[in-house]
A and B are shown apart, each in its own frame.
Chain A
Amino acid sequence: MDIALFEHKSEFEWQIRPFGKMRVPGVIFASEALMREMDAKVYEQVTNVAMLPGIVRSSFAMPDAHWGYGFPIGGVAAFDADAGGVVSAGGVGFDISCGVRTLHTGLNAEDIHAVQERLADALYHAIPAGMGSTGTIRLDDKQMNAMLRGGARWAVERGFGTPGDLERIEEGGCMQGADPAQVSEQAKKRQRDEMGTLGSGNHYLEIQQVTDVYQPDIAAAFGVKPGDIVVSIHCGSRGLGHQIGTEFLRRMVMAAAGFGIELPDRELACAPINSPLGQEYLGAMRAGINCALANRQILTHLTRQVFSRILPRAELPLLYDVSHNTCKVEEHKLDGHLKKLFVHRKGATRAFGPGHADLPAAFQSSGQPVLIGGSMGTASYILAGTKLGMQTAFGSACHGAGRAMSRHQALRNWGGRNVVDELAGRGILIRSPSLRGVAEEAPGAYKDVSAVVDAADGAGLARKVARLVPLICIKG
Chain B
Amino acid sequence: MKRWEHFSHQADIGVRGLGATMAEAFEQAALALTAVVTDPADVAHPDMIRICCDAPDAELLLADWLNALIYEMATRNMLFSRFDVHLEGSHLTAKVWGEPLEVMRHRPAVEVKGATYTELKVAQLPDGGWLAQCVVDV
Contacts and interface: CB of A to CB of B under 8 A. Distances in A.
B110 A69 contact: no
A156 to B, nearest CB: 27
A69 B10 CA distance: 11
A165 interface: no
A303 interface: no
A132 B109 contact: no
Q: Chain A interface: which size bin? A: 35 or more
A476 B138 CA distance: 12
Interface in B74-93: 74-75, 77
A131 B40 CA distance: 16
Between B9, B110, B118, B135, the greatest number of chain A beta carbons within 10 A of the residue's beta carbon is seen for B110
Interface in B89-129: 101, 103, 107-111, 113-118, 120
Contacts of A66: 10-11
Contact of B114 (A67, A131, A245): A245
Interface string B30-56: 000000010000000000000000001
A239 B74 contact: yes
Contacts of A81: none
A132 to B, nearest CB: 4
Interface string A394-405: 000000000101
Interface stretch (A248-256, A364-372, A377-385): A248-256
B116 A69 contact: yes
A95 interface: yes
A15 to B, nearest CB: 23
A142 interface: no
Q: Chain B interface: which size bin? A: 35 or more
B109 A440 contact: yes
A338 to B, nearest CB: 35
Interface in B1-49: 6-13, 37
Interface string A276-312: 0000000000000000000000000000000000000
Between B11, B63, B103, B137, the greatest number of chain A beta carbons within 10 A of the residue's beta carbon is seen for B11
A243 B120 CA distance: 19
A201 interface: yes
Interface stretch (A113-121, A418-426, A428-436, A459-467): A428-436
13 contacts: A130-B103, A133-B103, A200-B111, A242-B114, A245-B114, A250-B60, A267-B118, A403-B10, A407-B13, A408-B13, A409-B8, A435-B107, A476-B110
